[in-house]
Amino acid sequence: MTTENTLLARCGSKCELCAADAPVAKFEVAPSDGSVEQSVMLCPTCTDQINNPDTIDGNHWRCLNDSMWSQELPVQVMAWRQLKTLKAKGEDWAQDLVDMMYFEEDVQKWAEAGMVDFSAETTRDSNGAPLVAGDSVTLIKDLVVKGANFTAKRGTMVKNISLTDNPLHVEGRVNGTRIVLVSAYLKKQ
């Protein structure tokens, strides 16, 4: 029996986190060797939100109140990770559920090993898209550049930006002058 068939039999063709009857696919709980003991079957909604934490919908994840009690360790680990992610995104109810969970030391290490670090501040544009050094951005507002006697016009493209220590600012070259820009007035290209 293949890994997918074993997982389908285990989950009854339902998402192991939200119990949706949608088509399910194998999701490896990193770090994973791809085995049944380190994989879960998830619906597209759960998979998309796990892979893109910025799109997380707190109401969808209320289902973790049930799935966190699964007998399957990879399901428990994924529930714990999602609850921690939800807490980091401002869903305070998730911490109450995390407080109820207990793992043996090796399982706790596995759960923590696959977590995304939300404590590090990320520089984001006006739409919430993460910015990285080297990105190109467009100004969404006319900005008066103090000390340089010019106004950076809306629609101006700034190429090859640099990040600063402050996640609210980036540096870039406008009209040949290197200036600090407020990331809330930028749109990633």
- Count of C-beta atoms within a 10 Å radius of residue 125: 20
Amino acid at 121: E
Q: Is residue 119 scored above 70 in pLDDT?
A: no
For residue 118, what pLDDT is reported?
54
Average pLDDT of the chain is 90
Strand order in the sheet with 157-158: 157-158, 137-139, 186-188
Give all domains of the chain, ordered by start, each with its CATH number.
Answer: 3-113 (no CATH), 137-188 (2.30.30.40)
Q: Cα–Cα distance between 186 and 155 in angstroms, integer?
A: 9
**pTM across the whole model:** 0.63
pLDDT at 187: 92
Token pair 């090859």 in the structure block, residue: 160
Question: Which residues, in sequence order, are bridge partners of residue 186?
Answer: 139
pLDDT digits (tens, 9 = 90+) for 54-95: 888 999 999 999 999 999 999 999 999 999 989 888 888 999
Residue 114 has pLDDT above 80, yes or no: no
